C-alpha cells in the first residue's frame, strides 16, 4: 500500500491550531506542515483509496464516502474554531509533502492575500423562506376584494373567466413581490457584509422544509458585526412573519465561497 498526503485545509499558522483526532482513515494522526508561507493541515492516507480503477468505485459508493467526507468537514471546523482557515475540497490527495509543496508554491501570493483580506471576518449563510401558497392566497384575496363590485355584476361565465385572469395576474404579482423581498434582504445586510456570494436556491426535498427558499447567499461578515447581523435578522422577521416570510442566518462556516482557485494537483 502506497502512502500519500491528504490535505484538509490551510491556515496562516498564527495562531497555531491544536490538532486532535485522526485523518479520514480514523488511524493516521493529523499534522501541521509549514509550506508556501502557510500551514497545511494534513494526514497520511492510502493513495490506492483515491487513485486507480478501484478508487473510482469507492468514490462512487456513498457508504464509503459519507463518513470520510464528514471527517473532512469536522477537521476543517475544528481548525476554524481556533484560527483562520482556507478549506480544501474533499479528496485532495498528494503523493507526498514535496508534491504538496510544489502544488502550493505557485499560489504563495494568493494564499497570503486571502488570509490578509479575510482577516477578522467570518462566512455566514443567509436564507429566506416563504409560505408561498399563503402569500399567494393573501394577494389573491386582496385583489378579489378590490374588484368584488365589478365581478358581482358579471354573468357567471364572464365572471369565471375574469377570476381566472385575475389569478394569472396574481401569480405574476406574487413573483414580482418576491423579487422585491429579495432586493430588500440584500439591502438589509449590505452594511454588515463586506462581500456577498449568491447561493443556489434549494428544493424542499433538500431543505426538509415545506416553505419555499427564495433567497440564499453567503456573506463575509466582520466578527464585530455578527451580533448586528443577528439583530437585523430578528427585526426583519418580526416585521415580516405575518407575510409568511422567515429569514435565517447560520454560521460561522469555512469560507468556501470566498477561497481563491488554487488548481492544485497531487
62 three-state secondary structure: helix
61/111: higher pLDDT: 111
Query: What is the predicted pLDDT for the residue at 261?
Result: 81
Place of cell 490527495: 93
Query: What is the predicted pLDDT for the residue at 175?
Result: 85
* pLDDT of 141 above 90: no
Query: What is the predicted pLDDT for the residue at 237?
Result: 97
Counting every residue written for the chain, the total comes to 266
Do the domain assignments include residue 264?
A: no
Do the domain assignments include residue 266?
A: no
Do the domain assignments include residue 262?
A: no
The pTM is what?
0.82
Same domain, 146 and 114: no
Query: What is the predicted pLDDT for the residue at 145?
Result: 65
CA 202/CA 214 separation, integer angstroms: 9
Query: What is the predicted pLDDT for the residue at 197?
Result: 95
pLDDT digit string (tens) for 48-93? Answer: 888 877 888 888 889 999 999 999 999 999 999 999 999 999 999 9
Same domain, 66 and 177: no
Task: Tell me the residue ranges of DSSP E strands in the chain.
Answer: 3-11, 30-35, 38-46, 86-87, 93-94, 121-130, 195-198, 212-222, 245-253
CA 121/CA 197 separation, integer angstroms: 14
CB 93 within 8 A of CB 5: yes
Query: In the listed set 119, 148, 165, which residue is the last one of a domain according to the structure?
Result: 119
Same domain, 114 and 212: no
Do the domain assignments include residue 39?
A: yes
pLDDT confidence of 40, banded at 50, 70, 90?
very high
Residue from 166, 134, 169 nearest 147 by CA: 166
Query: What is the predicted pLDDT for the residue at 161?
Result: 65
Sorted by sequence, the CB contacts under 8 Å of residue 149 that are 6+ apart come out as: none
The total of structural domains in the chain comes to: 2
Provide DSSP, 169-187: HHHHHHHHHHHHHHHHHHH
Same domain, 74 and 195: no
Q: Is the dihedral of CA 13, 19, 22, 27 positive or negative?
A: positive
Do the domain assignments include residue 263?
A: no
Query: What is the predicted pLDDT for the residue at 171?
Result: 76
CA 123/CA 253 separation, integer angstroms: 5
The neighbour count for residue 225, using CB atoms within 10 Å, is: 20
Residues of the domain holding 152? 122-257
Same domain, 71 and 153: no
Provide DSSP, 70-100: HHHHHHHHHHHTTS--EE--TT-EESSHHHH
* pLDDT of 4 above 60: yes
Same domain, 106 and 140: no
Same domain, 60 and 156: no
Q: What is the mean pLDDT of the chain?
A: 89
Query: In the listed set 64, 88, 119, which residue is the last one of a domain according to the structure?
Result: 119
Same domain, 52 and 110: yes
Same domain, 153 and 39: no
Do the domain assignments include residue 265?
A: no
Same domain, 222 and 102: no
Same domain, 105 and 131: no
Same domain, 92 and 28: yes
Residue from 103, 127, 235 nearest 182 by CA: 127
CA 156/CA 255 separation, integer angstroms: 59
Q: Count of alpha carbons within 13 Å of 153, Cβ hemisphere only?
A: 3
Query: What is the predicted pLDDT for the residue at 184?
Result: 96
Query: In the listed set 119, 147, 164, which residue is the last one of a domain according to the structure?
Result: 119
* pLDDT of 153 above 80: no
Task: Kindly state the greatest CA–CA separation across the chain.
Answer: 85
Amino acid at each position: 500500500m502506497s502512502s500519500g498526503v491528504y490535505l484538509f485545509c490551510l491556515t496562516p499558522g498564527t495562531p497555531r491550531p491544536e490538532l486532535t483526532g485522526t485523518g479520514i482513515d480514523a488511524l493516521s494522526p493529523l499534522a501541521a506542515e509549514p509550506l508556501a508561507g502557510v500551514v497545511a493541515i494534513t494526514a497520511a492516507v492510502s493513495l490506492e483509496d483515491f487513485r486507480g480503477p478501484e478508487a473510482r468505485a469507492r468514490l462512487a459508493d456513498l457508504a464509503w464516502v459519507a463518513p470520510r467526507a464528514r471527517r473532512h468537514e469536522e477537521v476543517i471546523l475544528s481548525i476554524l474554531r481556533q484560527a483562520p482557515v482556507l478549506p480544501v475540497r474533499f479528496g485532495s490527495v498528494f503523493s507526498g509533502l514535496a508534491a504538496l509543496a510544489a502544488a502550493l508554491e505557485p499560489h504563495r501570493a494568493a494564499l497570503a492575500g486571502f488570509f490578509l483580506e479575510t482577516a477578522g471576518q467570518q462566512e455566514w449563510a443567509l436564507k429566506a423562506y416563504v409560505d408561498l401558497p399563503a402569500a399567494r392566497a393573501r394577494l389573491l384575496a386582496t385583489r378579489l376584494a378590490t374588484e368584488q363590485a365589478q365581478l358581482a355584476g358579471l354573468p357567471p361565465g364572464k365572471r369565471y373567466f375574469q377570476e381566472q385572469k385575475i389569478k394569472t395576474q396574481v401569480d405574476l404579482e406574487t413573483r414580482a413581490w418576491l423579487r422585491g423581498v429579495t432586493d430588500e434582504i440584500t439591502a438589509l445586510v449590505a452594511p454588515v457584509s463586506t462581500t456577498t456570494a449568491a447561493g443556489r436556491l434549494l428544493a424542499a426535498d433538500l431543505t426538509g422544509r415545506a416553505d419555499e427558499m427564495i433567497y440564499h447567499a453567503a456573506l463575509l461578515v466582520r466578527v464585530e458585526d455578527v451580533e448586528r447581523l443577528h439583530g437585523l435578522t430578528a427585526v426583519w422577521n418580526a416585521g415580516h412573519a405575518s407575510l409568511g416570510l422567515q429569514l435565517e442566518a447560520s454560521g460561522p462556516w469555512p469560507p468556501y465561497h470566498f477561497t481563491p482557485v488554487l488548481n492544485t494537483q497531487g
